[in-house]
Amino acid sequence: MLNIFIDKIRLLFLKERKSYLCFYKLLGFYPKNIKIYQQALLHKSSSIKAGKSILNNERLEFLGDAILDAIVADIVYQRFKGKSEGFLTNTRSKIVQRETLNRLAVQIGLDKLIKYTTRQASHNSYMCGNAFEALIGAIYLDKGYEVCKTFVEKRIINRYINLERVSRKEVNFKSKLIEWGQKNKFIITFDLTEQSLDEEQNPIFTTQVIVEQIPGGKGKGYSKKESQQEAAHETLNKIGHDPLFIEAIFSAKNEREAKEDASSFYQEDNINDVSSTSEEMEDAIIEHYEDTERIIATAEEEAFNSEKESNE
């Protein structure tokens, strides 16, 4: 209580009073370092230069993603005592998935505060959720873990999320994996590798997930959808717990992007070559035209002089 009173007095002498009040309404407390929160709302499309650095919310988003995972795991662990690790993991996944974070960002009014270009907003479905994670990162840096946890629990989960209902909701692992791939720019495919029959002649489908040409999880089911869900679930587990798999897919992704960059550069170079060749051909045509004109003019002059001499 005393801290809030002190913050209010301090607010009277601050230049960015309006901005502080805006964040107070959003957070329930006054920021110490308002610059961090302003950066959390700065989308990369509106990046600004600060010396040799480029400022936007991507680094805070990275930090906030990890902190939010830890906080939600902490809350879920305390709320669902005696539940299995799998249950806790699934419940946490449903809370921190991009669709939920986008919705929460809109509900607390964060979407109206993000700075971005209009063009970027038209095709970036993760912008609000990313800014929400960046905000969590800013709170953690400015106030620490406990204040950050209090914010998430009291102002987010208690107000906008029914944990009991969320825990019973089925996870769409395929959508979650695709969302992860899009956010991190990985190429992911679902390959149907086998179709067979069980003892009662019911069809069984086997799906293999491929991430950047690296085999991921494999799943079986009595429908293609079921096998894809199982394969996606196993792949997400590998992403979370298998460092060798993570290293392999990142290496493959980097190699693909390097080839794409090289190909793009080669095509650009070819375009320049074609342009140069076209210019050279144009110059040759002009030169040829000028030579022809000169020859004709010379011939006409000689003919005129010859005719003149004969008349004389």
**Pure H helices in 117-204:** 118-121, 127-143, 145-150, 158-160, 163-168, 173-184
Residues 179-195 have pLDDT tens digits of 889 888 999 999 999 99
If one counts the domains in the chain, the total is 3
With left for phi above 0 and alpha for psi between -120 and 50, is residue 252 left, alpha or beta?
A: alpha
- Helix axis angle for 224-241 and 173-184, nearest 10°, is 50
Gap between the Cα atoms of 206 and 192, Å rounded: 6
Name the residues annotated as catalytic: 65, 133
Cβ neighbours of residue 237 under 8 Å, at least 6 residues apart?
Answer: 217
302 belongs to a structural domain: yes
Could you tell me the end-to-end alpha-carbon distance of the chain, in angstroms, rounded to an integer? 121
List Cβ neighbours of 137 (8 Å cut-off, separation of 6 or more).
Answer: 40, 59, 60, 61, 62, 63, 64, 65, 67
Confidence of residue 1 (pLDDT cuts 50, 70, 90): low
Q: What domain range includes position 191?
A: 176-241
Domain presence at residue 263:
yes
Residues in Cβ contact with 25 at an 8 Å cutoff, skipping those fewer than 6 apart: none
**0.95 surpassed by pTM:** no
Tens of pLDDT, residue by residue over 229-274, are 899 989 998 998 899 999 999 999 999 998 888 877 666 556 555 4
Which helix (H) or strand (E) covers residue 219, if one does?
strand 214-221
Average pLDDT of span 53-70: 93
**Do 194 and 147 share a domain, yes or no?**
no
Q: Are residues 50 and 90 in the same domain?
A: yes
Phi/psi at 46 (5° precision): -120, 30
Residues 167 and 59 in one domain: yes
User: Which has the minimum average pLDDT: 209-218, 261-270, 302-311?
Assistant: 302-311
Has residue 11 been placed in a domain? no
In a domain, 13, yes or no: no
Helix then strand then coil, in percent of the chain rounded to 5, is 70, 10, 20
- For residue 197, is pLDDT > 60? yes
Instruction: Name residues whose C-beta falls within 8 Å of residue 311's C-beta, 6 or more positions apart in sequence.
Output: none
What integer best gives the mean pLDDT of the chain? 82
